Chain A
Amino acid sequence: MNGAHDLGGMHGFGPVDPEPDEPVFHHDWERRVFALNLASGFLGQWNIDMSRYAREQMPAAEYLATTYYEHWLFGLEHLLVKKGLVKPEEIEARVAELRRQRVGRPAAGS
């Protein structure tokens, strides 16, 4: 598809911005998204080409405004829902439940 991922030759992104001595993962959620993708791929419900295509289907404006592992998160949700392994309502319900638990906890140490 002619998506935003097809970046060769585009203009407007400014200089390349290397971070010296960067860690492999910048946040815990990044490493978990990475691992969940690999582990879920092993279920055999999709192949690597499907997983690349899933990420490509992120809406263009969103793709360009988000980071690499956010693309992976989108792709994983897309595939899990498409293959009927998880329902969108289940994700939303769990997100809301986890939010309630976070809010309910005392602020110290959070």
Chain B
Amino acid sequence: MGKNHPKVDDYVVSRVRALESLLLEKGLLAPDAVDRVVRRYEASTGPMIGARAVARAWRDAAYRARLLQQPTAALADLGVRYDRLVVVENTPAVHNLVVCTLCSCYPWDVMGLPPTWYKAPAYRSRAVSEPRAVLAEFGLVVPQEREVHVWDSSAELRYMVMPMLPPGAQDLSEDELASRITREALIGVAEVTLPARAG
């Protein structure tokens, strides 16, 4: 609603340009800062840190325990300094889902910037009150016998789901597994699937 309205775009474009030029003039903004910030986040590796961590946890029981119990240390093993990740594990008994109802909190350092749908009112309002219906919209049906745990990121902790290892994954390398782990799976709106085998 409103996002593609030409008048709105013109209004915001003018306003953003005005602000940027004023801040530059007043010496409150360095000329190269905007481009550097943009490059840092636009080219970020997205969910790859999270995907690598999960893939390693799937292959290495000790790392799995570390990721769940000492996530800061587990991320440091991957060369990432981040002290506020909490990893929640999907099991046959529990499916986890992550949301930020109040704004859009998301583990940027581990999963990149969040998708638009995650930050929009439909998901933020419904993930906490009707998670199964939301998951069904994503094509994920959680059987009634399984519990659904929704984590509302209301403080400074950031949550990531550890999806379950898909069946038939035993022949795949850690890298191949990581390439199959999407940010949707790490948010909890999808499970990890493997491509169908040929023949």
A residues contacting B by CB (< 8 A) are 5-11, 13-19, 22, 24-29, 31-36, 38-40, 43, 52, 55, 64-70, 73, 76-77, 80, 85-86, 90-91, 94-95, 98-99, 102
Q: Output the residue of A25, A32, A86 with the most chain B CB within 10 A.
A: A32
A13 in complex: contacting residue of B2, B35, B122, CB < 8 Å: B122
Q: Which residue of B lies closest to A97 (CB)?
A: B18
B residues contacting A by CB (< 8 A) are 1-3, 8-9, 12-23, 26, 28-30, 33-35, 37-38, 41-42, 44, 101-104, 112-113, 115-117, 119-126, 128-129, 134, 137-138, 152
How far does the Cβ of B47 sit from chain A's closest Cβ, in whole Å? 12
CA distance A7 to B120 in the complex (A): 10
How far does the Cβ of B15 sit from chain A's closest Cβ, in whole Å? 6
7 A-B pairs closest in CB distance: A8-B101, A94-B18, A35-B37, A13-B122, A10-B125, A35-B34, A7-B124
CA distance A91 to B37 in the complex (A): 23
Q: Which residue of B lies closest to A27 (CB)?
A: B9
Q: Is the CB of B42 within 8 A of A9?
A: no
- Counting residue pairs across A and B whose Cβ atoms lie within 8 Å, the total is 150
> Which A residues touch B125, using CB under 8 A?
7-11, 13
Q: Which residue of B lies closest to A6 (CB)?
A: B102
> Which A residues touch B8, using CB under 8 A?
66, 70
Chain B binding surface, main DSSP class:
helix
Also in contact, A98 and B18, with CB within 8 A (given A17-B122, A29-B13, A67-B2): yes
Q: Which residue of B lies closest to A43 (CB)?
A: B28
B19 in complex: contacting residue of A18, A64, A91, A102, CB < 8 Å: A91
Q: Is the CB of B23 within 8 A of A40?
A: yes
> Which B residues touch A31, using CB under 8 A?
38, 42
Q: Is the CB of A13 within 8 A of B126?
A: yes
